[in-house]
Structure formats: structure tokens, C-alpha cells
Structure 1
Amino acid sequence: MPRYFFDTFDGDRLIADSEGIELPDLEQVKAEAQRALPDLARDGLPDGDQKTFIVSVRDETGQVVLRAALSLIVETAPESRSA
């Protein structure tokens, strides 16, 4: 079974996955990347108004086979800005 490496980026830090996990196909890779994004966001909620979290998946040869991103944007309602 192929091994995939899930590198994460929270806008400040890149964490390279040196262990990886074995998964049968790209559908499972996609599902695993999508599951990782909310946890990544929860651990690194933005101090400002916007932040993008990224999971980049490499195969055993080092080639990126999938990239998933989650953006958090905080917007204040226009009438609240002047208060």
C-alpha cells in the first residue's frame, strides 16, 4: 500500500510530515486531508481577521498529489464598525 505524507501550514509554520501513513488510494488521501483541516484550524485560530490552513500531501517520491485549504475570515458587520 502506498505511503503519503501530510505537510501542514497554518500561515506561520510549515510542519513537514516525516512518517506518513499508508492509504489505498487518492480518495482516502483526500478524506484524510479534509479531516485534518478542522483540527489544524482549531489549534491555530487566527489572531487577526483572516487565516488560511493548508494540507499538502506528498507521495513516496515526494511529488505533491493533493492540496487542501481551509480559510477562516472574520468580518464585522458594516453598522458595527462605527460603534
Structure 2
Amino acid sequence: MAHYTIDTDDDDLLVEGDYGEGLTCASTARRMALSALPDMARDKLPDGDRRTFRAIVRDDNGQEIYTATLTLVGEWKIASPAS
């Protein structure tokens, strides 16, 4: 039976997943990778206006089989107000 893990990368830190998580379905691993992205973004805000978040699903051979990417871009449309 195949096993999958999810790695996360927030532009500062790559965290490798654990095959012991019990993920045996690629579709479930994909759904979990997608659902991780909003939480990752929320945890890093407000920490700048540009950041890329990735969740990578790997199989038990270490092969990347799916990648989900969320890119955050914030821009002032007027002169930046003083902090």
C-alpha cells in the first residue's frame, strides 16, 4: 500500500512531512495539501506584502506527485500611510 506525506514551504521554512501520518490515498493527501495553504498564510500575516506558500505531496519513494501554491501579493494603491 502506498503512503504519502505533505511538505510545506512558506518562503522561509521548508517543513518535511512524516510518512507516519497514515496518508494512504493520494486524493486525500491532495485535499489536505490544499486545505493547509490558507492556514499557512494566516499564520504568517502580517509579515510583508509578498509571500508564496506551497504544499507538496510526495509518495513513499520521495517523488513529488502534487504541488499546490498560494501566492500572496498586497499592494498600496495610494501612498503608503505612515505607521
Paired-residue identity, % = 40
Q: Would you identify which runs of 4 or more consecutive aligned residues in structure 1 move more than 4 Å?
A: none
In structure 2, the CA distance between the partners of 1:65 and 1:82, relative to structure 1 (3 Å rule), is closer
Show the 5 A alignment for 1:3-18: 3-18=3-18
Paired with 1:41 and 1:82, the residues of 2 have a C-alpha distance of 22
Which residue of structure 2 aligns with residue 32 of structure 1? 32
Which residue of structure 1 aligns with residue 79 of structure 2? 81
Identify unmatched segments of 5+ residues in structure 2: none
Question: Aligned Cα RMSD in Å?
Answer: 1.8
Identify unmatched segments of 5+ residues in structure 1: none
* Per-residue deviation, 1:21: 3.2
Secondary structure class of the residue paired with 2:75: coil
Which residue of structure 2 aligns with residue 22 of structure 1? 23
Aligned length: 80
TM-score, normalised with respect to structure 1? 0.81
In structure 2, the CA distance between the partners of 1:54 and 1:46, relative to structure 1 (3 Å rule), is farther
TM-score, normalised with respect to structure 2? 0.81
Q: Tell me if the contact between 1:6 and 1:20 (Cα under 8 Å) persists in the aligned partners.
A: no
